[in-house]
Structure 1
Amino acid sequence: MSETTVAVPQRARWAVTAYFVSTGAALGTWTARIPAIKQDLGLDDGQVTLALFAVAAGSVLAMQAVGHLADRFGSARVLGPAGVAMAASLLLPGFAGSLPLLLVGLLVFGAGHGTVDVAMNTHAMQVQRSYGRPIVSTFHAMFSVGGLLGAGVGALAAHASISAGAHFAFVAAVLAAVLLLARRELLPAEVRAPSESSPRQRGISPGILFLGVLAFFCSVGEGSMADWSPLYLHDVLETSPAIAAVGYAVFSAMMAVFRFLGDFLVARLGPVLLVRCCGAIAGTGLGTALLLHHPVAAIIGFALFGIGLSCIIPQVFNAAGNRDPNRSGRDLAQVSTLGYGGLLAGPVVIGLISSWTDLSIGMAVPAALALLVALSAPAVRPR
């Protein structure tokens, strides 16, 4: 194999990495400045919730269309303009002067985020096929790194009293420049002829639906950790606010670290055994911590839950994206949509159960779902 042939996949890998980092950074940028935008526009909690749903709605709606575009024209052709559009869309919520304008801006931003999310995961499958070995988990780890970068820069901007508009404009310019450079190194578009599949094939297949359910289960746990782990430590275990914040930080850190190890682990264990072990670690770790009812046990349990969830979603996406290369974009879009639904539904479900019983029982739901994922691990076996 010539040096040029080897270099092309390597450059494409760095290009896709840039998209994952940038997408995480864009989302982290918006999240970090929610308090500032809330104050500037005089929003109440209900209006902030509406704004968050606008981002989710834009993402889900875009995911329904972009999968077909990626399959028809090639993920590279979609990813190039979509990345720049996502970066530019940050300007809309940054300079929104009223709630209606903010909602429109966030709907557009969410659409850009959802479009890039599906297209970059589709292209990641193409790059992985050119490598011939697992590399997808590292991409997902870099998304987490991007989120931390976006949130960190946002915290510095808030500390320096920089307006959200000026901050978003700076980030948008940087991300657009990075993605314009990255698009040059993407692999050539895998152009597909228009599909002549049967009506059943044009819908969601049972296998993809099941993978989407697994993504939903994992995302329920991830969303629940973000919203309820601090409250569990503070309200149920009666820790200080500082200790309460540690739980989610440990969960996030362990998830990011073990995603970097995911490609090594799947190459050694295979996807089925890896998902089975990860689901068991997540479910038993969190479940045992809830039974012990102690702050130290809870923090360790949250760490184990992060370790367990870290490698599951990348393998679910990998199985969906490689199930049928001709439908990779559409299959990933369907799995991503169900996964996004889990992020939205998880905190609500935990809240409802907790209101009927108590938070300890509510927090047991993600543990039980993780054990179900462990039992369902054969679904990620390569075809």
Structure 2
Amino acid sequence: FLATCSGVLTVHWLNQLKWDSGDFLLARFGTHRDFGLFTDDQANYSNAFWWYVWEVPIFILMGAAGGLMGATFIALNMRLTHWRQRYIPTSSGNRRLVEVLVVVLVTCIVCFSATAASPCSPLPPLLARYRANATNTTLPDVIDPQNRYEYDERTLADIEDFYPQWMCAEGMYSTHGQLFLSPLSHTLKYLIHLGEVAKTQEDEGVHTFHVGSLLSFLLLIFGLMTWTYGVGAPTGLFVPTLAVGAAFGQLVGRGVMYLAERDHLSENIDLHTYAVVGAAAMLGGTTRMTISITLLVMETTGAMELIIPLMLTIFTAKLVGDRFGHGIYDAHIVIRGTPFLEEHDETGFPIADKLQTGE
């Protein structure tokens, strides 16, 4: 994990070893953006996020909601884990294999069913116009540099992958398919970054995800994530949690945008900022980590400008989530009875330090 703030992660141990951590804090090991649609050596404008001071209370409330969502996920998953331990024990390889196959089958059915029930929306104007005039030309050759569409040196065929037609008519795309037909890591990229480049007046708002699609994605993936975590196969938690949180953030951003437009506010609400903050809130409420989650979200999305909102959101998510119990990892350690050595309490001291000669 090549992170600009990699030195921060070593401060704890450097302090224990009495080393000077200043050089490590100033070191730059590179930037790694796992969830960017393109890299910063191709486009430096990809990391443009903005926020206003009056949005800080909203971010804090999002952190509280993330803590509640994380606590709900943990509570449901713990019930399911207890059931697994009773009826699908680790000693029964066949039962665990069958459960994995059932989970895969149900996941495919849910995603395809949601896509089949999807409404259709028109393609973005620039994409639709140049799609009719070019076969597979690279975008800079067919689009004015002042109105550059998306993702730099990408072809029209590549851009069309972001807007799957599925069963829609020509010139339309499936709004649910945009989220459910793509790999989860790609969906996360779309929720965070899709549309952050095209800011021309002609394209204003064309990348806004359908509210029904976001809500369906949030509920269905949350349920599948709760069921999948703990099955007898290698499964991850970070990407599903980030994707669910990003959808939640997009929904909150849409609500704030609606209220701003209703009250005729001049501020331009950035939905990508809300997607990043929502992802951090959900991940923080689930894992109850702090500094590592802040760095992970900030570095993998390129959202350097959001360090303060991320810190406040994740701290609030942990504060609220801890009121209901342990994080997901600590909860599984307890329920599985895994031997675990607690962290050394640095405030304590050996009793021998208080003994006097002759005692």
| TM-score for the superposition, normalised by structure 1 | 0.29
- Mark the structure with the bigger radius of gyration: 2
Structure with greater helix share of residues? 1
